[in-house]
Amino acid sequence: MASSQPARSPANSLTVQELAKEPMLGIPQRYVQGDQQPPILSFATSMPTIPIIDMNHLIMGEAKDHELEKLHSACKEWGIFDVSSLVKKVKYEIEEFYKLPLEERMRYKIRPGDVEGYGQTILHSEDQKVDWADRFYMITNPINRRKPHLLPELPSSLRDTLESYFSELQKLAMTLLELIAKALKIEKKEVEEMFEDGMQSVRMTYYPPCPQPELVVGLTPHSDASGITILLQVNGVEGLQLKKDGVWIPVNFLPDSFVVNVGDILEILSNGLYKSIEHRAMVNSVKERISLAMFFNPKFQVEVGPAASIINPQNPPIFKRVGMEKYFKDFFSLEIYNDLALSRIAEAIGINLIKIDPFTARKLKCKFARLCIEIDLNRPVVPCIKLGQGLWQTIQYEGLPVLCYQCGRVDHLHPKCLYFPASTSKAISVPHEAPTTLHNIQSIEYCSIYGPWLQVPRRQRLWPHWLANESGRQQVWVPSAGNFEQQNLLCLTDELNSPKEKSATIPVSVSSSLAR
Ligand SMILES: O=C(O)CCC(=O)C(=O)O
Ligand SMILES: [Fe+2]
């Protein structure tokens, strides 16, 4: 049962590790996330288990083709697999790190405006839920992107051990990526050029035991934005779960093994053939859990998109190409992804917010926000809004069969427009008071420029929407205070019930600067 104890802000207890040491009558509300689907715990006879790939077979030996076929099908069917391999001193060193006094650990705390460092879930709003875990995230490669106060300042034994671990794992990751390229029939060169000396980062996560583990989530469901993630369960305590065919399945790590996740970039590279697996971590009431995830990504200088060598008329690209630098920046810039901000945006676009897409609500695959909004059909649709001081966001609508590009209304095409040239392109200020908690949405303004880009084409894949195809998700130029800024989408979903009715419910999505 949820506690009635007042919420404590993570600022009150600096880390979840410290919070968990305090006597507690109930879990502070901020950590209570009771809406999680339970996993299937035992199917006595047929509990699905993730595929196991033997690296020795994969690299040499007679069974190598058979093992490669297993790897290919594991990536296609599961998006996750297990590799028997080395285990390093790293486990010991990481456990030692979490035994350091709090002041020592706080030397690496996440600094305002940053995503790297040690601490709890980064807060974007007062009502945000917080995971039952402390993370230490940092970029490890390229070397010049390392934050001087993080890796270089770690206790020397941990730092040196991590350095050798990173270089070992880099070799393992390249071997895996080359084998994956072979299985996908992508040219090896293409993968090498992307990932060799690519962007790499690491996340050490500490999950303290929790007196009411069923109320909290260790790590919110997500897919990794990486190419592949190599995950080490540091202290042998289980907790990772993945979603397969709609059901949560616990992952049992083999002793001394890694689990490898297919991430979003590999899904894109394979043009959708491989699946970026949705996963989460749960906690228990008895034992702390520690994991170490290492994320392997392309270099900042390259573009992410479906591999050129597998694209042909029978397999057209389903994702747009985007520079890695931008991909990464977008991933970490999530500021308006909370219910309050999204309902304000919805009110600015239509009459009211009907529903937030579950992916959006759970901040999963969330490079755009998808909302179902009731709109007034007497008024032009809203093509873009300006949030706060200067962020222009465009909006896309799903299921708008007819749209007049002159006046922005949805019941006629522009040759029959009675309103033209009535609409004005002058930006209008919204007469709402800005909620004080939303420093990032001080005001919302509109502009009136209409075009086919407002309509999401019928066959467009919605996810990963923000990377989706040439015809669908578009970049548009919208005016901003005398100059032009290029911004990606808001997108809307669903169907207009009937263009004859005076209001209709339309799903909308808003891309933004969202940070996990
Ligand atoms: O702790 C785990 O097992 C999962 C970690 C994870 O998914 C991540 O860091 O992205
Ligand atoms: Fe993950």
Is 36 within the bounds of a domain?
A: yes
Residues 348 and 304 in one domain: no
- Of the residues 312, 332, 352, which one is the last residue of a structural domain? 332
Which among 300, 332, 364 is the end of a domain?
Answer: 332
Do residue 128 and residue 166 come from a single domain? Answer: yes
Looking at residue 62, its pLDDT comes to: 67
CA-wise closest residue to 270 among 230, 241, 225, 227: 227
Do 186 and 239 fall into the same domain?
yes
Say yes or no: 392 and 316 in one domain.
Answer: no
Q: Exposure pattern of 254-276 as b/e (b: 16+ CB <10 Å)?
A: eeebbbbbbbbbbbbbbbbbbbb
Residues within a 6 A CB radius of ligand 1 = 203, 205, 219, 224, 231, 239-240, 279, 281, 291, 293
Ligand 1 pocket: which of 240, 243, 265, 287 to mutate (most atoms within 8 A of CB): 240
Closest CA to 222 of 198, 199, 194, 241: 241
Counting ligand 1 atoms within 8 A of each CB, the residue from 134, 291, 295, 332 with the most, and so the one to mutate, is 291
Minimum-distance ligand 1 atom for the alpha carbon of 261: 7
What are the φ and ψ backbone dihedral angles of 169, each rounded to 5 degrees? -70, -30
Picking from 66-75, 213-222, 295-304, 495-504, which range would have the lowest pLDDT averaged per residue?
A: 495-504
Q: Let me know: does 312 contact 235? Beta carbons within 8 Å.
A: no
- 402 within domain boundaries: yes
* Ligand 1 centroid to residue 232 C-alpha, Å: 9
149-182 residue pLDDT tens? 999 999 998 998 898 888 888 888 998 999 999 9
Where residue 420 falls among pLDDT bands split at 50, 70, 90?
low
Q: If you take atom 6 of ligand 1, which residue's CA is the nearest one?
A: 293
Task: Give the Å distance between the CA of 66 and the centre of ligand 1.
Answer: 29
pLDDT for res 2: 35
- Tell me, what amino acid is at 180? I
pLDDT in tens, 436-478: 222 333 344 455 567 776 776 554 433 333 333 233 222 222 2
Q: Which ligand is nearest to the CA of 218?
A: 1
Helix (H, G, I), strand (E, B) or coil at 184: helix
- How far is it, in rounded angstroms, from Cα 307 to Cα 219? 31
Q: Is 219 inside a domain boundary?
A: yes
Is the domain of 230 the same as that of 367? no
DSSP string, 310-378: G-BTTB---B--EEHHHHHHHHEEEES-SHHHHHHHHHHHSSEEEEE-HHHHTTSS-SEEEEEEEEETT
Radius of gyration of the chain (CA): 24
Average the pLDDT over each of 91-95, 311-315, 453-457 and give the range with the smallest value.
Answer: 453-457
Report the C-alpha gap between 77 and 434 in whole angstroms: 46
Segment 323-339 shows an average pLDDT of 67
Q: Whose CA is nearest to atom 8 of ligand 1?
A: 293
> What size, in residues, is the chain?
516
User: Can you tell me the ipTM of this complex?
Assistant: 0.99
Distance 279 CA to ligand 2 centre (A): 6
Distance from residue 203's CA to the centre of ligand 2 (Å): 9
CA distance 494 to 468: 17
24-34 average pLDDT score: 81
What confidence tier does 240 reach under pLDDT thresholds 50, 70, 90?
very high
pLDDT band of 270, cuts 50, 70, 90: very high
State how far the Cα of 220 lies from the Cα of 212, in Å rounded to an integer: 17
Please check whether residues 378 and 322 belong to one and the same domain: no
pLDDT value for 73: 80
The arithmetic mean of pLDDT across residues 347-374, rounded, is 73
Q: How many domains does the chain have?
A: 2
pLDDT given for residue 186 in this prediction? 93
pTM (2 d.p.): 0.65
- Give domain status of residue 312, yes or no: yes
- The helix (H) or strand (E) run that includes residue 103 is helix 102-105
Distance 355 CA to ligand 2 centre (A): 27
Is residue 433 in a domain? no
Answer yes or no: do 60 and 109 share one domain: yes
Number of H helices, E strands in the chain: 11, 27
Contact 414, 420 (CB under 8 A): yes
Please report, for the domain that includes residue 185, its CATH number.
2.60.120.330
Residues spanned by the domain of 372:
335-422+501-515
Based on the fold, state whether residues 287 and 411 are members of the same structural domain: no
* Test site for ligand 1: of 50, 203, 277, most ligand atoms within 8 A of the Cβ: 203
Whether 164 and 280 share a structural domain:
yes
Alpha carbon 44 to its chain's center: 34
Confidence of residue 94 (pLDDT cuts 50, 70, 90): very high
Nearest ligand, CA 264: 2
Residue 342 and residue 323 share a domain = no
- 368: phi then psi, degrees, rounded to nearest 5: -145, 155
pLDDT value, residue 132:
94
362, pLDDT greater than 70: no
244 and 370 both lie in a single domain: no
Does 161 map to a domain? Answer: yes
In a domain, 383, yes or no: yes
Q: Of all atoms in ligand 1, which is nearest to the CA of residue 224? A: 10
Q: What mean pLDDT is reported for the chain?
A: 72
Which of these three, 311, 332, 353, is where a domain ends? 332
pLDDT band for 106, please (50, 70, 90 cuts).
Answer: very high
Q: Ligand 1 centroid vs 157 CA: distance in angstroms?
A: 24
Higher per-residue confidence, 121 vs 242: 242
193 in the same domain as 245: yes
